[in-house]
C-alpha cells in the first residue's frame, strides 16, 4: 500500500511529541520547576537558552518538553475515556434499540447541545484544578460523536448476515456485540478518537490557560501560555514555543486521523484511486 503524506507527517509529529514527553528528563537541559535563577530572567533564545527563559529564569525548552507530558496524558487518557463511554452507549443503543436507544439518544443530544468546554469548566469548578479533575472533566464531555458513530454502525451491522448467523448459533447479546459488531466498527472509531485527541489537547490548553488545569509551577503548554500573556510584547518567545508545540501536536493528530480514515475506509480509498 502506498503511504500517504498526511499519514507519514501526522504520525511523525505525534510520534515526536510522544518521544519528547517520554524522554523529557534526558533531553531537558535543566529542571523545569526548580532551576529558576533570576540572574538570567527573560533571556531571548540563544545557543545556551534554545527557546529563551521566562521571568523567573526557567529554561523554556525544558518546560516545553515536560509540558508535553501533561498535554499528551490529557489528550490520550481523556479521549480513551470518551471512546469507551461513547462506544459502550452507542453500540448497545444501536444493538438493542427500544427505550434504551431513546435514553442514549436523549443523552447524546443533551451533550451536543451544551458546549463541551463550558461543561468541562463546570466540572472543573466542582472538582477543583489538577490533572485528575482535568482527565475526568474532558473524559466525560466529548463522547457524543463517538456515540453517534457507534450507534449508526451498530444499526447497520445488526442486519448483516453474520450477526444474524451468530444469533442463530446461540451467541449471547454481549458476545455478539464484542465479537461481531465491535471489530467491524473499529476503523471509524479509531479515526474519530485520533481527531478527538487533538481537540482534547486544545481543551487542556484552554482550561490551563484559564488557570483550571495543572497547578503551577509544574508546566503545561496551556499554563505556560497563560503566564506568558502579559509579556507577549516584551518577550514573545514565552508564548511562541508552547504555542508552536500545541499547534504541531494538534496538526499531527489531525493529519494522522485523516490518514487513518483514508486507509481504514475502503470507500474513500477506491474513490481516490
Q: Which residues bind other proteins (CB under 8 A)?
A: 160-162, 164-172, 175, 179-180, 183-184
What are 130's strand-pairing partners? none
Considering the complex, what minimum distance in angstroms separates the CB of residue 168 from other proteins?
5
Considering the complex, what minimum distance in angstroms separates the CB of residue 130 from other proteins?
40
C-beta closer to other proteins: residue 181 or 212:
181
What are 53's strand-pairing partners? 59
Side-chain half-sphere of 180: how many Cα atoms within 13 Å? 24
Considering the complex, what minimum distance in angstroms separates the CB of residue 174 from other proteins?
12
Q: CA 219 to CA 198: how far, in whole Å?
A: 19
Set of cell numbers at residue 49? 537558552
Contact in structure between 44 and 235 (CB atoms under 8 Å):
yes
Considering the complex, what minimum distance in angstroms separates the CB of residue 164 from other proteins?
8
Considering the complex, what minimum distance in angstroms separates the CB of residue 56 from other proteins?
54
Contact in structure between 239 and 232 (CB atoms under 8 Å):
yes
Considering the complex, what minimum distance in angstroms separates the CB of residue 43 from other proteins?
56
C-beta closer to other proteins: residue 91 or 228:
91
Number of Cβ within 10 Å of residue 100's Cβ equals: 14
C-beta closer to other proteins: residue 98 or 126:
98
Contact in structure between 221 and 67 (CB atoms under 8 Å):
yes
CA dihedral 78, 82, 85, 86 (to 10 degrees): -170
Considering the complex, what minimum distance in angstroms separates the CB of residue 47 from other proteins?
53
Residue recorded with cell 480509498: 269
C-beta closer to other proteins: residue 125 or 165:
165
Set of cell numbers at residue 272? 481516490
C-beta closer to other proteins: residue 80 or 166:
166
Q: What burial class does residue 142 get, using C-beta atoms within 10 Å of its C-beta: 0-12 exposed, 13-18 middle, 19+ buried?
A: buried
Q: CA 93 to CA 81: how far, in whole Å?
A: 18
Considering the complex, what minimum distance in angstroms separates the CB of residue 172 from other proteins?
6
C-beta closer to other proteins: residue 174 or 244:
174
C-beta closer to other proteins: residue 105 or 179:
179
Residue 53 has phi, psi (to 5 degrees) of -130, 160
C-beta closer to other proteins: residue 132 or 268:
268
Q: CA 23 to CA 177: how far, in whole Å?
A: 39
Amino acid at each position: 500500500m502506498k503511504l500517504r503524506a498526511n499519514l507519514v507527517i501526522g504520525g511523525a509529529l505525534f510520534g515526536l511529541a510522544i518521544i519528547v514527553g517520554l524522554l523529557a528528563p534526558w533531553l531537558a537541559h535543566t529542571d523545569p520547576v526548580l532551576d529558576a535563577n533570576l540572574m538570567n530572567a527573560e533571556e531571548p533564545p540563544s545557543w545556551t537558552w534554545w527557546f529563551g527563559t521566562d521571568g523567573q529564569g526557567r529554561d523554556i525548552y525544558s518546560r516545553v518538553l515536560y509540558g508535553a507530558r501533561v498535554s499528551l496524558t490529557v489528550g490520550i487518557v481523556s479521549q480513551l475515556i470518551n471512546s469507551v463511554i461513547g462506544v459502550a452507549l452507542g453500540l448497545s443503543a444501536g444493538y438493542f434499540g427500544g427505550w434504551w436507544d431513546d435514553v442514549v439518544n436523549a443523552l447524546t443530544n443533551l451533550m451536543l447541545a451544551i458546549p463541551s468546554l463550558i461543561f468541562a469548566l463546570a466540572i472543573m469548578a466542582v472538582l477543583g484544578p489538577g490533572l485528575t479533575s482535568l482527565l475526568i472533566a474532558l473524559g466525560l464531555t466529548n463522547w457524543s460523536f463517538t456515540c453517534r458513530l457507534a450507534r449508526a454502525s451498530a444499526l447497520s451491522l445488526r442486519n448483516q448476515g453474520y450477526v444474524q448467523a451468530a444469533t442463530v448459533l446461540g451467541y449471547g447479546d454481549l458476545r455478539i456485540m464484542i465479537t461481531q459488531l465491535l471489530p467491524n466498527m473499529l476503523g471509524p472509531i479509531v479515526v474519530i478518537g485520533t481527531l478527538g485527541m487533538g481537540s482534547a489537547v486544545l481543551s487542556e490548553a484552554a482550561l490551563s490557560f484559564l488557570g483550571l488545569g495543572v497547578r503551577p509551577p509544574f508546566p503545561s503548554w496551556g499554563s505556560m501560555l497563560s503566564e506568558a500573556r502579559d509579556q507577549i510584547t516584551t518577550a514573545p518567545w514565552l508564548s511562541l514555543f508552547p504555542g508552536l508545540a500545541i499547534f504541531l501536536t494538534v496538526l499531527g493528530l489531525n493529519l494522522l486521523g485523516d490518514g487513518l480514515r483514508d486507509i481504514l475506509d475502503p470507500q474513500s480509498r477506491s474513490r481516490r484511486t
